């Protein structure tokens, strides 16, 4: 991992994305974990806000013969250009926004526990259908074996 001169106050940890992720192109994805906190009521320790918005800037790099899209440290010094840049930069910056992150309780309510413990009816009907098919095939196989045996055995 490249060491940058600025510290990461949010303690971001990259999570490897490999073929086991089930994604079609795992190398096109980055996953990360951000350590966060929330303000809580001092007496009940209940979060004062249940919604967290994450804001980040993203740089998308287009590899070229002159730029291999390697991670670079930002020195903080910006050069000004007198003339506007006309050529297409290999790196484009964008702001990505999505829905808010909603915090939920890790404990399941009684209703949620009941729903998670019950077998869905579609699964029950599916298993019943499979059992009926196995019973039918077994009965047909047994009947065919009996018919074959009665034809093969000579009568005395």
Kindly state whether residues 128 and 154 are assigned to the same domain.
yes
Kindly state whether residues 31 and 79 are assigned to the same domain.
yes
Supply φ then ψ for residue 91, to 5 degrees: -120, 125
pLDDT at 137: 92
Interval 117-146 mean pLDDT? 83
Interval 18-25 mean pLDDT? 79
Interval 82-103 mean pLDDT? 53
| pLDDT exceeds cutoff 60 at 85 | no
The CA-to-CA distance between both ends of the chain, in Å, stands at: 88
Interval 49-71 mean pLDDT? 65
Handedness of CA 136, 137, 140, 143 (dihedral sign): negative
Kindly state whether residues 74 and 20 are assigned to the same domain.
yes
The parent domain of residue 147 ranges over 107-156
| pLDDT exceeds cutoff 90 at 68 | no
Distance CA(35)–CA(54), nearest Å, equals: 12
Q: What percent of the chain has pLDDT over 70?
A: 41
- What is the pLDDT of the chain when averaged over all its residues? 67
pLDDT at 58: 58
pLDDT at 80: 44
**DSSP strand pairing (51-52 vs 57-61):** unpaired
49, 38 in Cβ contact below 8 A?
Answer: yes
Kindly state whether residues 92 and 17 are assigned to the same domain.
yes
Picking from 104, 120, 136, the residue at the C-terminal end of a domain is 104
Distance CA(54)–CA(100), nearest Å, equals: 8
Reported as a pLDDT band with limits 50, 70 and 90, residue 77 is very low
Interval 11-21 mean pLDDT? 75
The CA–CA distances, whole Å, from 93 to 90, 96, 100, 117, 136 equal 10, 10, 22, 47, 63
> By C-alpha distance, which of 72, 33, 76 is closest to 54?
33
| pLDDT exceeds cutoff 50 at 109 | yes
């Amino acid at each position: 991992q490249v060491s940058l001169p600025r510290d990461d106050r949010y303690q971001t940890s990259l999570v490897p994305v490999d073929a086991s992720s089930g994604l079609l192109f795992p190398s096109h994805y980055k996953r990360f974990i951000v350590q966060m906190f929330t303000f809580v009521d001092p007496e009940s320790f209940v979060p004062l806000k249940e919604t967290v918005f994450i804001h980040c800037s993203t740089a998308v790099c287009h590899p070229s013969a002159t730029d291999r899209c390697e991670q670079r440290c930002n020195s903080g010094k910006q050069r000004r250009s007198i003339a506007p840049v006309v050529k297409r930069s290999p790196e484009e910056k964008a702001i990505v926004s999505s829905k808010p992150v909603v915090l939920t309780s890790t404990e399941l309510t009684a209703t949620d526990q009941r729903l998670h413990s019950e077998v869905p009816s579609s699964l029950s009907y599916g298993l019943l259908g499979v059992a009926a098919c196995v019973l039918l095939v077994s009965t047909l196989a047994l009947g065919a074996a009996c018919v074959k045996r009665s034809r093969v055995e000579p009568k005395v």
